[in-house]
């Protein structure tokens, strides 16, 4: 039977129980705006974000990226934002209360995960989930082949690595 993830943190000394869930409150594009810009061109809720520039609007939704932990039932969860096309965003918004099983969109990951450095935006499929769960991010494999996050999502990580990542992400931003 798969176990529950728990560890004594080498940073804070606490026992952290449950598979880690590290969440970003906004896409990086929004987070990097000034307060004035946030008020004038940005819009942020728990699941939706838009930024309206003179030349168009950027659309983002909150999603989850799962990394399986070997031998553990619940995956390591990254609560991240992805950008969608206007059309996809509108479809997701319209079906938010009653998502259609199997539906998905193309998106770009819009958070820089410090423990998984990456020079650009990661392309992904964003697949809706039922039962009030946020859509799932399935990273595109392929280019580059050595992206650690893609490898971890595909192959899973050890308990030791999950602990190391959680400690870094929770205590060093």
Q: Which residues bind Zn ion (CB under 5 A)?
A: 9, 11-12
Q: Cα(153)–Cα(137) distance, rounded to whole angstroms?
A: 10
| Tokens 């650690």 belong to residue | 148
Q: Which residue is closest to Zn ion by CB?
A: 9
Cβ closer to Zn ion: 7 or 118? 7
Shortest Å, Cβ 156 to Zn ion: 23
* Spacing of C-alpha 99 from chain mean position: 19
Cβ closer to Zn ion: 47 or 164? 164
Shortest Å, Cβ 168 to Zn ion: 10
Shortest Å, Cβ 170 to Zn ion: 6
Q: Specify whether the CB–CB gap between 49 and 42 falls below 8 A.
A: yes
Cβ closer to Zn ion: 6 or 12? 12
Enter the tokens of residue 121: 């935006």
Cβ closer to Zn ion: 20 or 42? 20
Q: Specify whether the CB–CB gap between 140 and 122 falls below 8 A.
A: yes
For 19-154, where are the E strands, in sequence order?
Answer: 21-23, 42-44, 48-53, 56-67, 76-84, 104-109, 123-127, 136-139
Shortest Å, Cβ 25 to Zn ion: 20
């Amino acid at each position: 039977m798969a176990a529950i993830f728990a560890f004594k943190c080498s940073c804070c000394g606490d026992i952290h129980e449950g598979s880690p869930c590290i969440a970003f409150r906004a896409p990086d594009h929004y987070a990097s705006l000034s307060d004035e810009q946030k008020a004038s061109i940005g819009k942020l809720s728990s699941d939706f974000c838009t930024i309206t520039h003179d030349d168009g609007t950027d659309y983002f939704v909150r999603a989850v990226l799962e990394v399986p932990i070997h031998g553990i039932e619940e995956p390591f969860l990254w609560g991240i934002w992805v950008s969608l096309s206007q059309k996809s965003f509108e479809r997701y918004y319209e079906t938010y209360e009653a998502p259609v099983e199997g539906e998905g969109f193309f998106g770009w990951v819009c958070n820089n995960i410090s423990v998984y450095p990456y020079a650009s935006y990661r392309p992904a499929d964003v697949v809706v989930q039922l039962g009030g769960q946020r859509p799932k991010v399935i990273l595109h494999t392929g280019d580059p082949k050595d992206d650690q996050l893609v490898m971890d999502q595909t192959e899973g990580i050890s308990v030791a690595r999950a602990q190391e990542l959680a400690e870094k992400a929770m205590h060093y931003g």
